[in-house]
Amino acid sequence: MTTSNSLVYLIALPLLGATILLLAGRRADKWGHLLGTLMSASSFGVGLYQLSQMLSRSNEARPVTQKLFEWISVGTFNVDAGLLLDQLSICFVLLITGVGTLIHIYSISYMSHDHDRRRFFAYLNLFIAAMLLLVLGNSYLNLYVGWEGVGLASYLLIGFWNQKPAYATASKKAFVMNRIGDMGLSFAIMIAFATIGTVSFEGIKEHAHHTSTGALTAIGIMLLVAATGKSAQFPLQAWLGDAMAGPTPVSALIHAATMVTAGVYLITRSNFIFDAAPTAQLLVVIVGAITLLFGALIGTAKDDIKKALAASTMSQIGYMILGAGLGPVGYAFAIMHLLTHGFFKAGMFLGAGSVMHGMNDEVNMRKYGALRKFMPITFVTFGLGYLAILGVPPFAGFYSKDMIIETAFNSGGTKGIILGVVTLLGAGITAFYMTRVMILTFTGKSRWDAEAHPHESPILMWLPMAILAVGSVSSGFLLSRGDALVNWLAPLFEHHGEHEELLAPIVVSGLALAMVAIGVAVAFLKYSRQEVAAVAPENVSVFTKIARQDLMQDSFNEAVFMRPGQLLTSALVKTDEHVIDGAVRGVAQLALGSGSVLRGVQSGFVRSYAALILIGAALLIAAIWVVI
């Protein structure tokens, strides 16, 4: 294990930026965005330096650690605040700081009319620092600090325009649903401490072999709960659509490229737990499979361009979770899809932001149309992302998504066939709704509002989009060339024998492309051959109506959790008022009542007191007389 002193700068630089920007206040309004971008970029620089150092070492010596300070030391329980940079973290570090820096640059222009731009950059820097801590922590407890930090940053950024009550509510919803997941993580840490006695990755990995399967399954399920919360997976997925209330760069960075993929990181990082707990691993796969269809179905009905992309994010993360649940063969592909998705989805979100920028912040795709001629650069970059997410060769998604589909088919038995069909179906639906987004936004006739004057965005906005588009085109090819990423990550995972192949890769690719072609064709027939109504039609099938309402996820949560919760609270309030307050008031009443009775004795007349004393004394003497 190599040690290094420079890891901390990865986190310290953006954290310093956030601190300065938040403390300096309005004084920093003129240069705040520049400082924020600089801090993010220098963190990226440190990341590149670390990568170059790592490449120059042999496979076993690649992980780097740095002990910051002794954090908790109680008896045999010791937790150091320490950082760990290995082959897995470096992928995330470069994704977070790289895409993060591009989005900082984009935001300089996108947020230029907002008088709170400095605060926005402070939060962005805070997010980068927290996310880096999440992926660099060397124990679950350190990871937890970053995990909470990104939750906070996400809350602050979703509610950045909290002067609108709906946006403030959206941020609250995201925070509360995330808290449910966070509870899972804290339970996992507690169970790990109680059964294994340590919470560091290294320690748990060492002891995982002789820990009971039951304990590992419990830890695994709790980690899965955490992942579903942060990554918007079923059943804690409902917050992601509303999270689109935040500024579009936030949606691109936090709710597409990085934070929502933290669940995938958590599961991949905990591979030693999931490999030893098949039940938990199966649950991971089921959650992934459900969510990838769930998100895709929501995506087909959304008219809001950002919400359609959010549903797509949910679905794509479903693919990653599914891949991560397939065990050692799937981890690397999950991470590969995560990286390529980071490029193309962030690019598409920035494209959506660019469209909104030119269309007076209109998000309804039914009011777009024919923007191809007015925003050629946005069209091209968005289009490249579109081809990437569809999985058209040789774009990025072709390499990463097809690998997950192939691994799903080859996972063996009935499970493999079901998963394979689900992932293929997901690919088809993805093609349908993404084609729908493309057609509604960029082609056909214009359905704009009267005051819309679409125009191409300035260079600070289209340059990051262009760079991400290059990534969407090339990242898949580069990462899978000679199994580069798989071999890079291989030392982290335990290897099992090769699985038998149910279907040859070429067959899987063919099937996937056929599904994509069907999806595209259906969307083309439905939205390009027919006129698109500028107002969403009402006379639609019941399925469309349900999909428009996010497959009733909010109604379900409301009926199952919120209403009973409200009943419970009101019952508790009634109990408090009547039983607890009643008892307290009763005691007071008793004292008051007996007091007013006894008060009659205190007449204020000296003679009556004297008579009472006399009678009392007489009675006392009589009593003594009788007793003796």
Q: Which residue ranges make up the site for other proteins (CB under 8 A)?
A: 602-607, 610-611, 614
User: In angstroms, what is the minimal distance from the CB of 616 to other proteins?
Assistant: 13
User: In angstroms, what is the minimal distance from the CB of 625 to other proteins?
Assistant: 15
CA angle at residue 30 from 26 to 36, to 5 degrees? 90
Rounded distance between C-alpha atoms, residue 186 and residue 181, angstroms? 9
Question: For residues 164-183, b (16+ Cβ closer than 10 Å) or e, as one string?
Answer: eeebeebbbbbbebbebbbe
User: In angstroms, what is the minimal distance from the CB of 611 to other proteins?
Assistant: 5
Half-sphere exposure of 543 (CA within 13 A, CB side): 4
In terms of Cα–Cα distance, which of 477, 146, 168 is closest to 339? Answer: 477
3-state secondary structure (DSSP) of residue 475: helix
User: In angstroms, what is the minimal distance from the CB of 569 to other proteins?
Assistant: 50
User: In angstroms, what is the minimal distance from the CB of 597 to other proteins?
Assistant: 16
User: In angstroms, what is the minimal distance from the CB of 589 to other proteins?
Assistant: 24
* CA 595 to the chain's CA centroid: 63
User: In angstroms, what is the minimal distance from the CB of 607 to other proteins?
Assistant: 6
Sheet order of strands, 64-74 included: 2-3, 64-74, 77-85
User: In angstroms, what is the minimal distance from the CB of 615 to other proteins?
Assistant: 10
Q: Are 63 and 48 in contact (CB under 8 A)?
A: no
Residue 533 or residue 610: which is nearer to other proteins going by CB? 610
Report the C-alpha dihedral over residues 285, 288, 293, 299, rounded to 10 degrees: -170
Residue 165 or residue 600: which is nearer to other proteins going by CB? 600
3-state secondary structure (DSSP) of residue 163: coil
Residue 115 or residue 599: which is nearer to other proteins going by CB? 599
Q: What is the CA radius of gyration of the chain?
A: 30
User: In angstroms, what is the minimal distance from the CB of 626 to other proteins?
Assistant: 20
Residue 212 or residue 603: which is nearer to other proteins going by CB? 603
Question: For residues 333-372, b (16+ Cβ closer than 10 Å) or e, as one string?
Answer: bbbbbbbbbbbbbbbbbbbbbbbbbbbeebbbbbbbbebb
Structure tokens at 94: 């470069």
Rounded distance between C-alpha atoms, residue 167 and residue 244, angstroms? 9
Rounded distance between C-alpha atoms, residue 218 and residue 283, angstroms? 12
Residue 495 or residue 607: which is nearer to other proteins going by CB? 607
How many C-beta neighbours within 10 Å does residue 71 have? 15
User: In angstroms, what is the minimal distance from the CB of 618 to other proteins?
Assistant: 9
Residue 487 or residue 603: which is nearer to other proteins going by CB? 603
Residue 69 or residue 605: which is nearer to other proteins going by CB? 605
Query: DSSP per residue over 523-576, as a string?
Result: HIIIIISSPPPSS--SS--HHHHHHHTGGGHHHHHIIIIIHHHHHHHHHHHHHI
Residue 562 or residue 610: which is nearer to other proteins going by CB? 610
User: In angstroms, what is the minimal distance from the CB of 628 to other proteins?
Assistant: 18
Report the C-alpha dihedral over residues 21, 25, 27, 29, rounded to 10 degrees: 60
Residue 543 or residue 609: which is nearer to other proteins going by CB? 609
Cβ-Cβ contacts under 8 Å for 74 (sequence gap 6 or more): none
Is the backbone peptide bond immediately before 328 cis, with ω within 30 degrees of 0? no
Residue 569 or residue 603: which is nearer to other proteins going by CB? 603
User: In angstroms, what is the minimal distance from the CB of 608 to other proteins?
Assistant: 9
Token pair 């490229």 in the structure block, residue: 257
Structure tokens at 422: 């689900």
Cβ-Cβ contacts under 8 Å for 162 (sequence gap 6 or more): 168, 171
3-state secondary structure (DSSP) of residue 495: coil
User: In angstroms, what is the minimal distance from the CB of 592 to other proteins?
Assistant: 19
**DSSP bridge partners of 3:** 65
Side chain identity at residue 181, one-letter code:
G
Residue 568 or residue 621: which is nearer to other proteins going by CB? 621
In terms of Cα–Cα distance, which of 383, 347, 376, 375 is closest to 453? Answer: 375
* CA 568 to the chain's CA centroid: 29
Residue 414 or residue 602: which is nearer to other proteins going by CB? 602
User: In angstroms, what is the minimal distance from the CB of 591 to other proteins?
Assistant: 21
Residue 506 or residue 628: which is nearer to other proteins going by CB? 628
Residue 507 or residue 620: which is nearer to other proteins going by CB? 620
Residue 34 or residue 612: which is nearer to other proteins going by CB? 612
Structure tokens at 582: 């009643």
* Sequence-ordered alpha helix ranges (H) in 7-84: 7-24, 32-55
In terms of Cα–Cα distance, which of 296, 309, 389, 390 is closest to 355? Answer: 309
**DSSP bridge partners of 66:** 83
Residue 580 or residue 610: which is nearer to other proteins going by CB? 610
